Structure 1
Amino acid sequence: MLFSFQPHDEWSQTQKWAFRFVALYSWLYILMMFGGSRLLKPLTIWLGRDILGIEGRYEFFATGSGDTTMAYAGLFAQLILVISGTILWSVLDRKRRSYNAAFYWLTVILRIFLVFFMFTYGFAKIYKSQFAGPSLLRLLQPIGDMSPMGLAWTYMAQSEGFNMFTGFMEVLGGLLLIPKRTQALGGIVVFGVMLQIFMMNMFYDIPVKLFSAHLMLFGLLIFAADWKRFSHVFIKNKPTEAVEYYKPTKDPVYHTVMMWFKVAGVAILFALMGYQGYNAEHSFGDKRPKPQYYGIWEAEEFIKNGDTIAPLITRSDRWRYWVIDRKGYAAVKMMNDSARRFNFIVDSTGFGLTMRSRSDTLTEPNFTITQTDSVQLILKGVLDQDSLQIRLRARDLSQIRLINRGFHWINETPYNR
């Protein structure tokens, strides 16, 4: 066992070298997470492009991916710096007997880091804003056309209950990390939760592999510091002893203040993240307001420039479905299963609408809409210099099995469709 919550006056050379590496790596990784990676940009590009010969996009850009070329090259740069720093630290500080205080503060930083992200991701699932959906356009997509990530996202998005369960487990791991007495239990809970997420990211090609791996390993590091007692109780069937945790000070006022600081911090985090999660779920999550004409509308008749276009599956210029899911946006599914996305605005009368490509800056209405009854409407207008008249019928969303099957205690036969 390399590290322990139980302080020791004398550490072995292996323990000291390992601690220096782990401490430098952890501190540098957290620093890079919160903006420090930009300071290493020149080194990252040089190592990645010139030393490793990796081709890719060497710039910082927001796409939602944490597994970019810059991320992997940055990780390599981080390892070079950490190895160099470990050697230098070991030479300059070779006479130090132990790192009890430094290890204490390392675990404090890692716990704060893990608590923040366990709460962040946990509340995003409890309030179902991370996996909102599945969208109406996704429901029309053949499963064979989905990417592995799209399939995994749909799997998570389909069930509110499973989202709440995984979210509660993440929050539980974060809560257990806060008191010293339960930090090891919190570490193993975080490790277990993040192991499942890491495997999902790996095998469904979700680009959060690096980050989830670090959260998983940080949780394991905290748990491993209490491994000896755990193994005695659960594996070797031996008695164990209580840990005398390292204390930075014996002042009782300090410990009282820290206890109330933790209580207040948890309360504030719960309030802020609960408020943010509630707003997110009601703004763009499952409980968002549905826009006017919400639904999947099937094009029963499609007239283009005066010619009626037959619904042939080879046509890329004939609409099959008109999908209104989120305010301000519309999508069109063509007969050949390709899709186009548009900005979509309904005017104050409800009969004029603007539907233009995302790059089009014009805002005046280019369509009129006539609703003949609750399930039928007619669109007339001009799109891409083509005159269009389209008769649409609303698809009954209650007939979509994936979102309406529900839960059943009793199933006489497996309902696997």
Structure 2
Amino acid sequence: MRDNTPVGELSGFDLTWNYFGHSYTFAIILGLLQIGGGVMLLFRRTTLLGTCLLLPVMLNIVLINVFYDIATGAFINSIIITTGLLYLLLLRWPDIKPVLFKEVVIPQLRLSFAKPVLKLLVIGLAFYSIYRYVVAVPSSTFTGKWKIKEFKRNGKTVGENDWMNGAQNWCYIYIEDDGRISLCANPYVFEANRAWFGRYNYNANQKTFNVHFDGGTNNDTTKVKISNYNGKQMQWDTKVYDDTLKLKLIKE
């Protein structure tokens, strides 16, 4: 999220800069790799090493520029640099070819039956891991960003500007596929330091959410009764601590 904008609505350019700007350390390392590789190109003995260091980085940048609709100037610049690196690599092709295509003698495994068994085991474990993930994290029909249209606490309506008076006066609820849920008071920007975070599971028979807020115990379960759900809106009736809450939500 950025300024309460869903990630799916960000442009490729905004998405890229939000991603790379998340970690300052990563940006420094990436910059040092490019500077170091560029310095290596200045010396004949380290030209090949510098090319091998820079080429993967530049190929990645070219793909990002293409598929994330980065500015045309940046794309042209990355193509020119990548083409130059490929040219330098081809100049050393006679030295590189033996490394890539030289036949290497690998000692044969005496237990011939073990090789196919190991292959099947690796493939089986890979598919089993995917299956377990899909089963453990099923898609939820409630997933999405929900705006609280009407909020009543102990029978009294919570005003539109009451979110400034307390983090418990939520304006938005974010429900995720992996069982995570977050409730935010600020209607304009998602404030992680004020938001309520937790985990939920849905009981289809009782039509209830069982919510465990972070910082509590497994015994601290908040039961949320769901009614009038039609995919676009729903109503919550619950009790949080000593407060009885009634919320009407609209999906955005």
Could you state the TM-score of these two structures normalised by the residue count of structure 2? 0.50
Structure 1 residues 197-244: Cα deviation after superposition (integer angstroms, max 9, x where no partner): 89xxxxxxxxxxxxxxxxxxxxxxxxxxxxxxx869639xxxx96689
Instruction: Please point out which of 333, 354, 369 is paired with 2:210.
Output: 354
Give yes or no for contact 1:378–1:391 (8 Å, CA) kept in 2: yes
Q: Report whether the alignment pairs 1:307 with 2:156.
A: yes
Higher strand share: 2
Matches of 1:367 and 1:352, distance apart in 2: 5
1:290 to partner: Cα distance: 1.6
Structure 1 residues 151-192: Cα deviation after superposition (integer angstroms, max 9, x where no partner): 11699xxxxxxxxxxxxxxxxxxxxxxxxxxxxx99955642
1:335 to partner: Cα distance: 2.9
Structure 2 gaps of 5+ residues are: 23-47, 62-86, 110-114
Q: Report whether the alignment pairs 1:370 with 2:227.
A: yes
Counterpart residue number, 1:139: 6
Structure 1 gaps of 5+ residues are: 1-133, 156-184, 199-229, 247-251, 396-417
Q: Report whether the alignment pairs 1:296 with 2:145.
A: yes
AA aligned opposite 2:213: S
Q: Structure 2 vs 1, CA of residues 245 and 346 (structure 1 numbering), >3 Å: closer, same or farther?
A: closer
Counterpart residue number, 1:325: 176
1:141 to partner: Cα distance: 11
Matches of 1:274 and 1:186, distance apart in 2: 37
Give yes or no for contact 1:297–1:323 (8 Å, CA) kept in 2: yes
AA aligned opposite 1:297: W
SS at match of 2:171: strand
Alignment of 1:219-238 (within 5 A): 234=91
Matches of 1:378 and 1:309, distance apart in 2: 15
Counterpart residue number, 2:243: 386
Matches of 1:348 and 1:186, distance apart in 2: 59
Q: Structure 2 vs 1, CA of residues 139 and 352 (structure 1 numbering), >3 Å: closer, same or farther?
A: same
Q: State the Cα RMSD in Å.
A: 5.2
Matches of 2:169 and 2:158, distance apart in 1: 7
Alignment of 1:71-110 (within 5 A): none
Higher helix share: 1
Give yes or no for contact 2:51–2:88 (8 Å, CA) kept in 1: no
1:289 to partner: Cα distance: 3.3
AA aligned opposite 1:382: K
Structure 1 residues 333-387: Cα deviation after superposition (integer angstroms, max 9, x where no partner): 2135432211212224151222231122226452211134332211111123322
SS at match of 2:159: coil
Matches of 1:231 and 1:348, distance apart in 2: 63
Counterpart residue number, 2:71: none
Give yes or no for contact 2:142–2:231 (8 Å, CA) kept in 1: no
Counterpart residue number, 2:200: 344
Q: Structure 2 vs 1, CA of residues 243 and 347 (structure 1 numbering), >3 Å: closer, same or farther?
A: closer
Report the count of equivalent residues. Answer: 178
1:292 to partner: Cα distance: 4.0
Give yes or no for contact 2:198–2:212 (8 Å, CA) kept in 1: yes
Counterpart residue number, 1:39: none
Give yes or no for contact 1:342–1:357 (8 Å, CA) kept in 2: yes
Could you state the TM-score of these two structures normalised by the residue count of structure 1? 0.33
Structure 1 residues 299-348: Cα deviation after superposition (integer angstroms, max 9, x where no partner): 00001122101122634332211111123221112135432211212224
Counterpart residue number, 1:151: 18
Give yes or no for contact 1:322–1:333 (8 Å, CA) kept in 2: yes
Matches of 1:280 and 1:352, distance apart in 2: 27
Structure 1 residues 83-115: Cα deviation after superposition (integer angstroms, max 9, x where no partner): xxxxxxxxxxxxxxxxxxxxxxxxxxxxxxxxx
Q: Report whether the alignment pairs 1:192 with 2:192.
A: no
User: What is the identity percentage for the equivalent residue pairs of Structure 1 and Structure 2?
Assistant: 12
Matches of 1:186 and 1:280, distance apart in 2: 42
Q: Structure 2 vs 1, CA of residues 187 and 280 (structure 1 numbering), >3 Å: closer, same or farther?
A: farther
